[in-house]
Chains A and B, each alone.
Chain A
């Protein structure tokens, strides 16, 4: 390469850098003239101020020295060390265990119900969906209070057993299973509705073809039904897992002190204990879990295809 050509390429590189950097106002201008970007701005700003900002602050605080109230200090891993050396990670493990059990139970309960909604009660599916979604509009803690009155000693279950059958039944509350029960109840719609979506994505002709070719019911389920409904099943399982792992009310109302879930520990650190860095480090466990599961889901599903379906 001659000197001249080097100089020219330098100039060209410099020039292109300038031309890429110079009109940032122009670039902002073109972005602002795009109706899509403009329409996204209001919600975008809301989520920046109400979701990204708070989580970024939690991230910063997680690396600050314990018991401090400023993010302008030298970063440290002390909080994570405390979490893993003390027994703080136990609440995280308990939450994961409860969430996994919730997902497993709901997969078994909801699959036949989704089949019923899509294939048996086809004509009544709309009104059934409305009836099943309506409880979502009643506060979680109110519905869990209803279960508390149902399961408490002297409540509906134990009162019925005692009065009509003469069998004394103790309170069924304040155990690991009671918390699990609450998680299953509250998250049932989160599993059911995505699963209905998944089951309705299985083409009827494909099932008929499989039956015509001599496949058994079990084979059709294993080879056709479940693989083709997988996107819906996956979404349901992931949403349920994340929401159950980060739940707080179920453990408070039905679980008493039998299980401490991670969100309870975070709340304690942020409120009574006033240890923001430790609470933030515990929150980071939850944020990383939810974030990685959400990313895994986004890789596999086409959102346009899911929400674009009519009905």
Chain B
């Protein structure tokens, strides 16, 4: 695979690292008991701790700590028995404390790695530097009033896991695959809801360009991207910008950038030299966080099957391709649905590939068309399993099954009900099919002549006519075979 960008004098390589911010899926905030619910009325979920009233003290949420450890295990990372909370100081309207409680020198989780799979069957490891716990900030609305910014502190203090990667990523696509993989792992672990639109998962992108094989160039950081599409767009734009500067003899200034989602361009943030003077120091309000091996062991034993394990299991048990298995396991709801479907009838195991196709193409396209989610699919796994069984036993044809699925989707009826009510059973009676074919042949003597003279394509015409007469219910294979037999006999 060629990952290079063509330049004027030589090719360029992108060097990309991601800092992913994932909100911990918890009921209450990291250091206070306020609710974390999204979309409540402004400032309704703000305790005196979150508002940084004088004298308020933070008390850590045990569950958030466990979720961070769990995530660390899911990222194949080292869990640190000892970690420390620091204050990261900066001045901003949505940060009432004037500092964010974060972890600097001693994070809760150390080095790990995740694997991304390419379509061509190859894969690549992306190394993780660390994962640390920190507070989210409040939300500022800038576009409601020409002279004011409105601040909502509901998000202030919600637990975030910041997951930092090594600069192992080389293309926008790899960046997209990496964040998808992290998202998938988080959702299997149920430590983050993965909702990028609501900002539960967002990323800062560090990017530089270099001549392949040379030292890393100076990097820029693009802040706060909340969709995979924007991440790719921002990387493409920023790499082009940097290459243009370097090729015209300039040098890159290390900078923090913002991405404008409507113009697709990046621009430097202002006040950068002050913004970077964070004056980290250990938070005197919080003791170091110690986790025993025993506690880590207990958390490890609670971890469910992760996408990679499940993928390998699917490949082995159902003889699926690497690609099919990775599509099935990318989202937990998809693999759950597949499991429930295939386990709804013992015989379906032998038709795993058909089950995959019906879920990932037919059902997905219906859900998409109707703007619905697999989680609340009108077709239950059992009902889909029943439909596939009707196909596998030749009771209905695949073509008719598509209509049946649409009917199931809108009416909520089972496949059996629909097939019985509409009389859609496939015609597999040799005699009955033969009778229809005789009819078609008798009605089209000229076509028969042409066919026999070598116009093979006409076979499709006869099939079509016969299908029409049987309302699409004839078994296609039998129809084909008998038709050929009869036509050739005429010769």
Q: Do A and B come from one complex?
A: no
